[in-house]
Amino acid sequence: MTSLINYGTGEVAFDSDAFRDLMKFSKTYGSYDDGLEDDQEIWVDPNESIRNGDAAMVNSFIYNPSSYISLVTVYGEPVSVAGYPSATAGGPLCAITDSFSISSESTNVDACWSFIKSLLSEDAQMTDDTNSYEIPVLKTAFEAQIKLAMDPPQGGGNFNYDGQRIPPMTEKMAQDYRALVGSLDTIMIPDNAVNAIIMEEVPAYFNDQKTDTAVSALIQNRVETLVKERS
């Protein structure tokens, strides 16, 4: 989203080759809506599809060392983690679960900053729970999480997609996991209002009712209006 909307300046770039390329990619490789309700659709285990050779990629969420170990062990071989197609050719998206800021009009800036600093302390970031569903931003806490995954408590640990206990993290897994987290440079910023506009307009292109140029221009106009209304 940040490659198409500059939330600081209000500049919008949907009427661009970059966005039209995404539309074309989706039209070529996306799946068509068959009209079935969610509870009528036939669910196929994506991990089984990978193991059977029916699929090359699967949508994944990595939120701690155990989740990374699980991906490697369930497929029985090293995995490569890639990002979604984008104009910037970025890598995996980093989803921030908790973020904080201080209002410029606050009369208690020092107290607010003290609270934020407390969230970055070792007391707040350290955990001995292998089921923690967050990657800490404090490096010492990050490394402690890896150490715990390499030497889990007796009888502890998580289970993978097949219900099997996840083995300890190896040194190679730890190196790859560190490199993956260290390479993150794109933050996922969901914008439900913009997504709603896109979902309303792009079907006309997918169904050959309008050209990609016409649809991207419509989305550009509507999102520009939305962004201006917010400022």
Residue-wise pLDDT tens digits, 164-206: 677 899 999 999 999 999 999 888 888 999 999 999 999 999 9
Q: How far apart are CA 62 and CA 182, in angstroms?
A: 13
Give the three-state DSSP class for 159: strand
- Give the global pTM: 0.79
Which residues have CB under 8 Å from 148's CB, separation 6+?
65, 128, 130
Residue 212 near residue 23 (C-beta atoms within 8 A): yes
Q: How far apart are CA 168 and CA 106, in angstroms?
A: 47
Average pLDDT over residues 202-222: 96
Give the three-state DSSP class for 179: helix
Residue 193, phi then psi, degrees to nearest 5: -65, -40
Query: Mind listing the pLDDT tens digit for each residue in 63-82?
Result: 999 889 988 888 877 788 98
Which residues have CB under 8 Å from 108's CB, separation 6+?
none
Phi-psi region of 217 (alpha: psi -120 to 50; beta: other; left: phi over 0): alpha
pLDDT at 131 over 80: no
pLDDT at 157 over 60: no
